[in-house]
Amino acid sequence: MTTHSARPRVTLADAVGEFAAHPSPWMIGATLLAAVTARVAVGDWQLTDALVPAVMLAVFPFFEWLVHVVVLHWRPRRLGPVTVDSLLARKHREHHVDPREASLVFIPWQALIWILVGAGAVALLGFPRVGLGLSFLVCLGALGLGYEWCHHLIHTDYKPKTRIYRSIWRNHRQHHFKNEHYWFTVTTSGTADRVLGTHPDPSTVASSPTAKNLHAAMPGR
């Protein structure tokens, strides 16, 4: 009789080791370290610097939702002879096909280079003070690193041990294994989804046949 061995138990240390084996955490981490160093060197601390993390924490779930819906779930469109389809969207469709493939969990480094350059430009040119822009960049780096870690951990075999993480884990897994049209937040459980109407009672939602094959949901496929 053939027996199947259980998957090995995954610890947080195992998850950290896998996390460190991919380029995006290092790229975001280096940006965060550079931003912190520059922020301390510039000084010029004001009350508005304290408001930046509060505002960004409140806005980030909605930013996650918007990027997930508009960018990652983008359907290729034809503009004359050109097909508009970003690397981020293509890789995300692959991620839905194989949610357990670690390399597809992380932001592709080729796209991340431009994201980080853009974030740096916004920080330096889009604020009335350099110090305030650097405060923004520090917060964005911390949130980005937290996003990558949370998304990675959810897709490992690490079992949730706290109520908060269990709810986040369940929320994102429902998006992948129940119905891809709902539950778009990753680092929080149903925050922006509740406000924007994409957090239904799972018992009322039919399992989607295209949750693991977003291509199949496209017209003409």
> What is the DSSP annotation of the chain?
----PPPPPPPHHHHHHHHTTSHHHHHHHHHHHHHHHHHHHH----HHHHHHHHHHHHHHHHHHHHIIIIIITPPPEEETTEEE--HHHHHHHHHHH-TT-GGGTSPPHHHHHHHHHHHHHHHHHSSSSHHHHHHHHHHHHHHHHHHHHHHHHHTSSPPP-SHHHHHHHHHHHHHHHT-TTS---SSSSSHHHHHHT----GGGSPPPTTTT-GGGGSTT-
In a domain, 11, yes or no: no
**Does residue 209 form part of some domain?**
yes
pLDDT of residue 80: 87
**Is residue 17 in a domain?**
no
14, part of any domain: no
Q: In this structure, what are the phi and psi dihedrals at residue 26, rounded to the nearest 5 degrees? A: -70, -40
- The total number of structural domains in the chain stands at 1
In a domain, 166, yes or no: yes
Identify the domain containing residue 189 by its residue range: 25-217
Give the amino acid at 162.
T
Residue 19 in domain: no
For residue 8, being part of any structural domain is answered with no
In-domain check, residue 50: yes
pTM of the model: 0.91
Under-50 pLDDT residues of the chain: 1-5, 217-221
pLDDT of residue 10: 86
Bridge partner residues of 78 (DSSP): 83
